[in-house]
A = this chain, B = another copy of it.
């Protein structure tokens, strides 16, 4: 297998996870990680060359692929910078919170001819990938309904909420992507109900913590997502795809597979605590897929357009919530035309 040399921009939580995964990955050499805001003397990540200067990664001729793990506001800039110097890019989602900015970045990437993969890691989760395979192989027939339950174990700090772009952009965006990924269809229209039931402070900050979002898809099927910022029993990530030949349901993963029967009842394992535990394997698999795309010179399995589409659904859902009415999802083409 051809060894690809990679660099990382951003040494925060997700940057460190990717760094560790690359160190253990066959066929990839992690050469350097750069972050202007990190004190690398204290850094708990693996032993790799570090730098305060992103240019050290972007200008290194050996580095063929760049992982953009910096804060969201710099995603588009770094993605474009890397693409312009001919480096393939894996960018954490979203590229930008502004659809027009995303579209512009995608055009830059397209012109430069490099691969771009976006960090929709859940597509690579073995359980969800099995669900997708069932759909793709026709095991459930024509898709008629996608249902996603996604609940966090605890609400984030209120400061995080304030800068999160809202629950739909921060949390539901993953579920919107799963609706598209699992159904193989586009979301055409969305209706969102939201509520503040977990923590009044979230409402004061202008956000919601509970939602039911229903959708109409381009193939005629329906979809529904329920979100909560807090399930006291842990991270709740369940999916069902139902169709003309049956349905496939994905359950929560657990740290072990046991049942404890006692005077206190029949107790099964709690779900894995949060996304780092639940989607641990998917972070490895998404990068393996990214590097395989580079080696095989083919489109990455979760490209920039997927990020754009998810963002457009987020925007429609926000508007639906605001105006309490179903809202059609804008088409990427109409963005382009508006620009022109």
Q: How far is the CA of A223 from the CA of B131 in the complex (A)?
A: 25
Which stretch from A54-62, A160-168, A243-251 is at the chain B interface? A243-251
The residue on B at minimum CB distance from A211 is B222
A46 at the interface (CB under 8 A from B): yes
A270 at the interface (CB under 8 A from B): yes
A266 at the interface (CB under 8 A from B): yes
Question: Are A257 and B263 in contact, CB atoms less than 8 angstroms apart?
Answer: no
Question: Are A259 and B268 in contact, CB atoms less than 8 angstroms apart?
Answer: yes
Chain A 70-119 residues near chain B, CB threshold 8 A: none
State which of B145, B232, B263 has its C-beta within 8 Å of the C-beta of A232: B263
Q: Which residues of B are found within 8 Å of A226, using beta-carbon distances?
A: 145, 147, 222, 224, 242
A261 at the interface (CB under 8 A from B): yes
State which of B245, B263, B267 has its C-beta within 8 Å of the C-beta of A263: B245
A140 at the interface (CB under 8 A from B): yes
Q: 1/0 per residue A133-164: CB within 8 Å of B?
A: 01000011110110101010000000000000
Which stretch from A5-13, A30-38, A192-200 is at the chain B interface? A192-200
Q: How far is the CA of A257 from the CA of B269 in the complex (A)?
A: 13
Q: Which residues of B are found within 8 Å of A246, using beta-carbon distances?
A: 231-233, 260-263
Q: How far is the CA of A268 from the CA of B269 in the complex (A)?
A: 11
Q: 1/0 per residue A263-305: CB within 8 Å of B?
A: 1111111110000000000000000000000000000000000
